[in-house]
């Protein structure tokens, strides 16, 4: 058995798939794993793969042309999800996809297809949750800053939504765990950037900014619930506690 | 009545949000609109909820009243003129400021503006229009707006509001005229249905001129259903009646028939008081905004008057078919006022009944059911213990079990535990191979309900007798927990004690 390993970026994953495919060892004889490999298996050859833009591009092009745009969307979302088996799942999905073509996304009775659908759905749902629950605070009456801690890597997808929504504002969305940020200057497209420890520190200070409107919002939130129908359980299942970490109305 | 003039914005927001909270509709769905440079906001057709209040209802719009001054005396309403409550009003600028600032912080998806009747319906509607116009032009707001149409306001003002907002609604309040007469002496079905009809016709006219069909879009699964309440055979006669009706009736000013919609020009001084001049942009033909693109909705109070579920559901279906509403909302009556005509103050809100009505509403809109299939005059109320779909299936056991690999889409959709999404996936997946129970589970079918009603390749999941008594007993057992939770949601359930929370111990 040969095991190809790579890092978590989309480019590395696609390169890894390319290498595993081009190695010609037979699909049954290869496995793909994300680094770090915590517990290596005996009798396996490990081949670490680094990012290669050209090879990744080739895989992406092949998926879009030989399978379908929908398949590519599912692969991308699955790759951005947070499950450790995602790379292997995508590989098995592609083996089937290159054999059957565009119909593969409907073949729900095949386990790899269903798994990739589940992964992409998980990621897509989380993107939607963060469209809902991301909260901005206003810094210096000009810049809107949001901190989020998502499980899947959805910052870019969330930022795309806000770029359409607030094209003429300065804003940034910061993923506290991955230390990446989407930055949007006024009337320009947004870009993704990594953040250093000092920058994170500086941004963390601005987190608990309270102004008139945070108070007003909390007041509104308290007033709008009907006491005679109070139902905390329902509230908790619709808005689980871990989402509330940076949500204004649940902060003290 | 207390009138307080020097009142802080926070107190105003408290009073006017508190007074608006009994309105149910808080959806931001039904229209897809891209953002524009220089403007703030877009709109997504699936709708976005931004928070969930302590009662578990979603908060998607800034739901406020423009004012809680009211000249009407509807018995069930907290703002009725005979109640002694603090009265206040927002200025249009305050509403705009709140909306914009909340929106930028991603608290809300847009504005839901309703109002008590201030001086007169026309005056109130004028104030609302002025606010919306300010928000759309000066504050450059491009997000979602839901506005209440005030019955009795002139047609021109209603159409002005429609060109500024995304969704309009007129509250039907109660399903029968008698109930309305008893509880809301200042309102009548005639005055409520007139603006509703006018909005329906204007939407239809506008849609025809921009090359769409006169009817609103419905869930895509309805295309595959022959017998749904929206299918052509069902609504064909109704919609032709709509068009003839609008031509035949005396023309309400501002009403647009399908042919005349292209040349919509509004009069300069629509309001009776003449204070509000309709802005010239609105009257120009190149005003880009469509008329109420997310359609129209309404709401009914349940439990305040003795109507049966059958009556409510028939009314709902009628509203969908003749007025082409996007949604009909139900509001479980929460006793606020003491009155001999109303249920006593300690009556619990009929939450389970409301839940059953919404379930049935979904069956009408997405599953191709008709009101008469779910309830009849002999059985006018829903089964407390079973949801309407299970109930229907148990009364039609001759149709079951259904073979998953062969059955048509509309039959699969009628199996309890299968929704439009999983039904569509089943139909797609079985082209590529036979389906078995583990596949169904991964596709998203709720097997604990469905397995009594289906076979895969001729076999059922377990050895199940197709007997009404037996399956009912089993399903009631499954539903019992959910029903109990809905009925007892206010009561604190048991929980794990914690030394830190309950006894203030320090770690």
- Domains for chain B: give ranges and CATH numbers: 2-353 (3.20.20), 387-484 (no CATH)
Residue numbers in B near A222 (CB within 8 A): 14
Question: DSSP code of B249?
Answer: S
Q: Higher-confidence residue: A205 or B160?
A: B160
Which among A136, A169, A221 has the least Cβ separation from residue B53?
A: A221
**Model pLDDT, residue B474:** 86
The mean per-residue pLDDT over the stretch A120-139 comes to 93
pLDDT confidence of B279, banded at 50, 70, 90?
A: low
Residue numbers in A near B44 (CB within 8 A): 161
Neighbours of B467 (CB within 10 A): 12
Question: Nearest-CA neighbor of B346 among B356, B358, B334, B354?
Answer: B334
**Model pLDDT, residue B235:** 57
Residues A85 and A19 in one domain: yes
Where does B306-446 have alpha helices with state H?
309-323, 351-366, 371-374, 388-395, 409-412, 420-429, 437-443
Position A192 pLDDT exceeds 90: yes
Percent of chain B's residues with pLDDT above 90: 53
Position B257 pLDDT exceeds 50: no
**Model pLDDT, residue B493:** 52
**Model pLDDT, residue B437:** 94
**Residue B197, CA atoms < 13 Å, CB-side half-sphere:** 20
| Domain residue limits at A115 | 2-126
Taking the CA of residue B53 and the nearest CA in chain A, the distance in Å comes to: 5
Residue numbers in B near A225 (CB within 8 A): 21, 53-55, 57
Contact between chains at B35 and A165 (C-beta distance less than 8 A): yes
Residues A217 and A113 in one domain: no
A126, A159, A184: which is the final residue of a domain? A126
Position B458 pLDDT exceeds 70: yes
Tens of pLDDT, residues B183-225: 998 888 889 999 999 999 989 888 888 888 888 888 888 888 8
**Burial letters B127-162, b for 16+ CB under 10 A, else e:** bbbbbbbbbbeebebbbbbbbbbbbbbbbbbbbbbb
**Model pLDDT, residue B284:** 54
Residues A92 and A148 in one domain: no
Whether A29 contacts A47, CB under 8 Å:
no
CA separation for the pair B405, B420 (Å, rounded): 16
Percent of chain A's residues with pLDDT above 70: 99
A209, A227, A242: which is the final residue of a domain? A209
Residue numbers in B near A136 (CB within 8 A): 104-106
Residues A142 and A101 in one domain: no
Residue ranges with strand state E in chain A: 2-6, 30-34, 45-48, 137-139, 143-148, 170-175, 180-184, 191-194
Residues A70 and A156 in one domain: no
Position A242 pLDDT exceeds 80: yes
Residues A181 and A235 in one domain: no
pLDDT confidence of B4, banded at 50, 70, 90?
A: low
The mean per-residue pLDDT over the stretch A167-196 comes to 93
Q: How many domains does chain A have?
A: 3
Residues A77 and A19 in one domain: yes
Residues A147 and A42 in one domain: no
Taking the CA of residue B164 and the nearest CA in chain A, the distance in Å comes to: 19
Contact between chains at B55 and A223 (C-beta distance less than 8 A): no
Whether B466 contacts B400, CB under 8 Å:
yes
Position B253 pLDDT exceeds 70: no
Contact between chains at B62 and A219 (C-beta distance less than 8 A): no
**Model pLDDT, residue B254:** 38
B20-24, B307-311, B334-338, B475-479, range with the lowest pLDDT? B475-479
**Model pLDDT, residue B495:** 61
B48-52, B252-256, B297-301, B356-360, range with the lowest pLDDT? B252-256
Residues A204 and A216 in one domain: no
A22-36, B48-62, B433-447, B473-487, range with the lowest pLDDT? B473-487
CA B126 distance to own-chain centroid: 25
The mean per-residue pLDDT over the stretch B265-281 comes to 45
Position B304 pLDDT exceeds 60: yes
Residues A122 and A27 in one domain: yes
Position B267 pLDDT exceeds 90: no
Residue ranges with strand state E in B115-266: 144-148, 167-169
Q: Which residue of B has its CA nearest to A108?
A: B429
Contact between chains at B54 and A114 (C-beta distance less than 8 A): no
Position B271 pLDDT exceeds 60: no
Where does B210-296 have alpha helices with state H?
232-248, 280-283
Position B234 pLDDT exceeds 70: no
Q: Higher-confidence residue: B102 or B468?
A: B102
Contacts 24+ apart (CB under 8 A), B4-11: B4/B86, B4/B87, B4/B88, B7/B86, B7/B88, B9/A216, B9/B94, B10/A215, B10/A216, B10/A219, B11/B88
Position B497 pLDDT exceeds 80: no
Residues A140 and A111 in one domain: no
Residue numbers in A near B58 (CB within 8 A): 238
Contact between chains at B37 and A231 (C-beta distance less than 8 A): no
Angle at A113 between CA A109 and CA A118, to 5 degrees: 105
Residue numbers in A near B41 (CB within 8 A): 165-166
**Model pLDDT, residue B2:** 53
Looking at every residue in chain B, the average pLDDT score rounds to 84
Residues A150 and A77 in one domain: no
A126, A160, A181: which is the final residue of a domain? A126
**Model pLDDT, residue B24:** 86
Q: Which of B13, B68, B106, B445 to mutate to test the interface with A (most CBs of A within 10 A)?
A: B106
Beta-strand relationship, B58-59 and B144-148: unpaired
In this prediction the ipTM stands at: 0.93
**Model pLDDT, residue B478:** 77
């Amino acid at each position: 058995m040969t095991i190809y390993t790579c890092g978590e970026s989309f480019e590395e994953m696609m390169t890894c798939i390319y290498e595993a495919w081009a190695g010609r060892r037979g699909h049954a004889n290869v496995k793909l794993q994300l680094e770090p490999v915590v517990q290596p298996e005996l009798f396996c050859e490990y081949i670490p793969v680094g990012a290669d833009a050209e090879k990744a591009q080739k895989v992406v092009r092949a998926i879009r042309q030989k399978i379908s745009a929908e398949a590519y969307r599912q692969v991308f979302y699955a790759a951005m999800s947070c499950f450790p088996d995602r790379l292997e799942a995508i590989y098995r999905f592609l083996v089937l996809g290159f054999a059957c073509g565009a119909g593969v996304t409907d073949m729900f009775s095949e386990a790899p297809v269903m798994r990739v659908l589940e992964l992409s759905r998980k990621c897509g749902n989380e993107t939607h949750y963060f469209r809902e629950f991301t909260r901005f605070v206003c810094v210096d009456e000009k810049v809107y800053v949001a901190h989020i801690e998502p499980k899947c890597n959805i910052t870019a997808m969330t930022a795309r939504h806000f770029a359409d929504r607030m094209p003429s504002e300065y804003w940034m969305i910061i993923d506290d765990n991955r230390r990446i940020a989407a930055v949007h200057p006024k009337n320009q497209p947004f870009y993704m950037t990594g953040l250093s420890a000092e920058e994170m520190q500086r941004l963390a200070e601005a987190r608990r900014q309270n102004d008139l409107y945070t108070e007003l919002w909390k007041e509104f939130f308290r007033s709008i619930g009907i006491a005679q129908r109070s139902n905390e359980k329902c509230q908790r299942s619709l808005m689980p506690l871990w989402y509330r970490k940076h949500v204004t109305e649940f902060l003290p | 009545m207390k009138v307080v003039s020097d009142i802080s914005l926070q107190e105003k927001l408290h009073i006017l949000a508190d007074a608006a909270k009994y309105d149910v509709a808080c959806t931001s769905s039904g229209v897809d609109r891209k953002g524009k440079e220089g403007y703030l906001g877009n709109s997504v057709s699936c709708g976005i909820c931004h928070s969930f209040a302590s009662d578990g209802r979603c908060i998607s719009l800034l739901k406020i009243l423009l004012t809680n001054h009211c000249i009407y005396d509807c018995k069930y309403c907290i703002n009725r003129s005979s109640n002694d409550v603090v009265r206040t009003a927002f200025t249009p600028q305050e509403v705009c400021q709140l909306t914009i600032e909340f929106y930028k912080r991603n608290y809300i998806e847009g504005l839901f503006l309703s109002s008590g009747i201030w001086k007169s319906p026309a005056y109130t509607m004028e104030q609302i229009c002025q606010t919306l116009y300010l928000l759309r032009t000066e504050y450059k707001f491009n997000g979602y707006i839901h506005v209440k149409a005030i019955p009795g306001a002139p047609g021109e003002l209603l159409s002005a509001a429609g060109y500024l907002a995304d969704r309009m609604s007129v509250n039907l309040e109660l399903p029968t005229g008698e109930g309305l007469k008893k509880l809301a002496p200042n309102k009548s079905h005639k005055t409520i249905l007139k603006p509703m009809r006018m909005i329906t016709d204007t939407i239809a006219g506008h849609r025809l001129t921009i090359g769409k069909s006169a009817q609103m879009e419905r869930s895509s699964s309805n295309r595959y259903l022959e017998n749904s309440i929206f299918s052509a055979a069902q609504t064909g006669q109704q919609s032709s009646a709509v068009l003839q009706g609008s031509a035949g009736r005396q023309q309400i000013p501002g009403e647009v028939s399908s042919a005349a919609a292209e040349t919509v020009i509004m009069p300069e001084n629509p309001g009776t008081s003449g204070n509000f001049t309709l802005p010239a942009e609105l009257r120009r033909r190149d005003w880009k905004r469509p008329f109420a693109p997310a359609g129209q909705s309404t709401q009914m109070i349940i439990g305040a008057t003795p109507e049966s579920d059958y009556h409510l559901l028939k009314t709902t279906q009628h509203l969908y078919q003749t007025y082409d509403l996007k949604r009909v909302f139900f509001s479980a009556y929460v006793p606020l006022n003491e009155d001999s005509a109303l249920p006593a103050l300690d009556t619990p809100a009929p939450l389970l009944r409301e839940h059953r009505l919404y379930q049935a509403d979904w069956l009408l809109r997405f599953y191709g059911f008709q009101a008469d299939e779910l309830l009849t005059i002999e059985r006018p109320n829903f089964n407390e213990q079973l949801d309407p779909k299970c109930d229907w299936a148990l009364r039609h056991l001759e149709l079951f079990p259904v073979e998953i690999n062969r059955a048509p889409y509309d039959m699969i959709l009628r199996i309890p535990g299968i929704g439009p999404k999983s039904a569509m996936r089943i139909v797609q997946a079985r082209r590529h191979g036979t389906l078995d129970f583990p596949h169904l589970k991964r596709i998203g079918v709720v097997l604990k309900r469905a397995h009594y009603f289906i076979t895969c390749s001729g076999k059922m999941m377990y050895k199940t007798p197709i007997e009404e008594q037996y399956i009912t007993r089993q399903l009631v057992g499954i539903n019992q927990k959910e029903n109990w939770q809905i009925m007892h949601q206010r009561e604190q359930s048991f929980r794990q004690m914690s030394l830190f929370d309950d006894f203030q111990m320090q770690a």
